Amino acid sequence: MARVKEDIEALSRKLIEDARAGVFKPLYVLMGDEPYYPDLVCQAIIDNCVDEFGKDFNETICYGADVTAEQVVTAARRYPMMSDRQLVVVKEAQLMKSLEDIAVYCNEPLDSTVLVLLMHKASLDKRKSLYKGAQKIGVVLDSPALRDYEMPGWIARYYASRGLDISPEAAALLAESVGTELSTIVVETDKLLKNLPEGATSVSVADVEKNVGISRQFSVFELTKELSYRNASKALSIAAHLGNAARFAMPQAVSALYMHFYRILKYGALLSRPGVPSPEDKAAALAGVNPYFYREYDTAVRNYPLPKAIAVVSLLCEYDYLGKGGDGLAATPAELLTELVAKILNT
């Protein structure tokens, strides 16, 4: 999956570079659960397809809820005025009731028209004609949502693209604070950059703590670390603080803990095999983990050998159910998390 998402990043960069160079396809379908790349590519096309002088005559931007497929096709079949091309953009195209009917345009597209269908957190049915037609004559950018464990890697790549080096701990902390919305990462990064010293090229945990408003001391990221090392007093203290935080959500915390211990389980299973694991096997077992943190997992597998790791994973499944209101328990999030952490430490 990570490879697919890196391919989306590469495709997006190419489409943006092509737009800036004046190279366009007849049809773009920009879709997927993560809107960051579709929005980025769409804006690059709008910025470069039609010059400022011709926008009044040769640029049509509408919204799916306000138009029909027939109106879009009619607009796409018009010829440009005093220009080599015209641009037709349908934003939030998923709201168009007759969206699939645009497939007829794929049979006879105009070379002088660039048609963009931008879908927000939605996708075409890949079995139907419009998707197949778009693939044949144009470009389909399908941007999947990232999972929690993929965010630190994406953040590191994004910061590198902006000439910045962010430490693994800072990337993990930022990912925990902001979540998986890429556009939110961009906004928080812009805010952070305004407060960094001029000419700074590195971002530390302290920078994230100061400018994003999260303390590493009381974060799920730090909780998993203390659990890895079986530092009971620190882990319990963090759990109590986290559970009482205004923005705390038990399901998200359990999800992060589950991913952490699932990796420990997979890594422990790998190390139980005869011989020394290859770097590739180790990376696969610790998918999404920066090699900087491998030493922590080396300790964790000693503290949670396979039977204990299995028991913890089972325990997390139980508390996932309880944290979502299962059994109708009246326990507070802080009580649930503290109880869970105590049981993990006692496995």
Q: Please check whether residue 107 lies inside any domain of the structure.
A: yes
pTM of the complete model beyond 0.75: yes
Last residue of a domain, one of 142, 162, 180: 142
Same domain, 117 and 10: yes
- 317: domain CATH number is 1.20.272.10
Q: Are residues 7 and 103 in the same domain?
A: yes
3-state secondary structure of 103: helix
Q: What is the pLDDT of residue 196?
A: 85
pLDDT at residue 74 tops 80:
yes
User: What angle do the packed helices 220-228 and 294-303 form, to 10 degrees?
Assistant: 50
Q: Is 213 left (phi over 0), alpha (psi -120 to 50) or beta?
A: left
Which residue type is seen at 5? K
Tell me, yes or no, whether 224 and 325 share the same domain: yes
Q: What is the pLDDT of residue 332?
A: 84
Residues 336 and 250: beta-carbon distance below 8 Å = yes
Q: How confident is the model at residue 178 (pLDDT cuts 50, 70, 90)?
A: confident
Same-domain status, 99 and 193: no
Quickly count: other Cβ atoms within 10 Å of residue 209's Cβ. Answer: 18
In a domain, 102, yes or no: yes
Q: Do residue 132 and residue 22 come from a single domain?
A: yes
Q: Tell whether 323 is covered by a domain.
A: yes
Residue 79: per-residue pLDDT: 95
Residues 43 and 94 reside in one and the same domain: yes
Average confidence (pLDDT) over 320-339? 81
Distance CA 342, CA 119 (A): 45
Please check whether residue 338 lies inside any domain of the structure. Answer: yes
Last residue of a domain, one of 142, 167, 198: 142
Q: Which DSSP category does 112 fall into?
A: T
DSSP character for 78?
A: S
Q: Which two tokens stand for residue 88?
A: 């037709």
Q: Indicate whether 88 and 49 sit together in one domain.
A: yes
Residue 164 resides in a domain: yes
Q: Are residues 210 and 222 in the same domain?
A: no
Most confidently modeled range among 163-177, 195-209, 223-237: 223-237
Same domain membership, residue 244 and residue 204: no
Q: Which two tokens stand for residue 148?
A: 């929690």
Alpha-helical regions (H) of 27-68: 36-49, 55-58
Q: What phi and psi values does residue 144 have, to the nearest 5 degrees?
A: -75, 155
Residue in 345, 337, 344, 343 with CA at minimum distance from that of residue 238: 337
* Residue pLDDT, tens place only, 206-228: 888 887 777 777 888 899 999 99
User: In the listed set 164, 184, 214, which residue is the last one of a domain according to the structure?
Assistant: 214
Rounded CA separation 25/28 (Å) = 7
Residue 16 lies in a domain: yes
Mean pLDDT over each residue of the chain, to the nearest integer: 91
pLDDT digits over 235-262, tens only? 999 999 888 887 788 888 899 999 999 9
Three-point CA angle 320, 324, 327, nearest 5°: 95
Residue 302 within a domain? yes
Helices (H) and strands (E) in the chain, counts: 16, 7
Lowest model confidence (mean pLDDT) among 19-33, 64-78, 118-132, 146-160 = 146-160
CB atoms inside a 10 Å sphere around CB 320 = 18
Compute how many other C-beta atoms are within 10 angstroms of the C-beta atom of residue 172: 29
Contact 174, 44 (CB under 8 A): no
The domain of 194 spans 152-214
Asked if 43 contacts 19 with a C-beta cutoff of 8 angstroms, the reply is: no
What's 59's domain CATH number? Answer: 3.40.50.300
| pLDDT, tens only, 274-325 | 988 899 999 999 988 889 999 999 999 999 999 999 999 999 999 988 888 7
Domains contained in the chain, number: 3
Distance from chain centroid for Cα 223 = 22
pLDDT band at 198 (very low <50, low <70, confident <90, very high): confident
Q: What letter represents residue 324's amino acid?
A: K
Q: Domain of 172: which CATH number?
A: 1.10.8.60
User: Which residue in the block uniquely carries the two structure tokens 């096309």?
Assistant: 45
Exposure letters 115-141 (e unless 16+ CB within 10 A, then b): bbbbbbeebbeeeebbbebbeeebbbb
Say if residue 9 is in the same domain as residue 87.
Answer: yes
Looking at residue 1, what is its pLDDT? 43
Strand ranges inside the chain, DSSP E: 27-31, 59-63, 86-91, 113-118, 139-142, 165-166, 202-203
193 and 209 Cβ atoms separated by less than 8 Å = no
Question: Is residue 73 located within the same domain as residue 108?
Answer: yes
> Within a 10 A sphere around the Cβ of 187, how many other Cβ atoms?
12
User: Taking a C-beta distance cutoff of 8 angstroms, is the pair 94, 64 a contact?
Assistant: yes
Distance separating alpha carbons of residues 210 and 177, to the nearest angstrom: 12
- Do residues 122 and 164 share a domain? no
Asked if residue 147 is part of any domain, the answer here is no
Residue 278 tokens read as 């290859």
CB atoms within 10 A of CB 99: 23
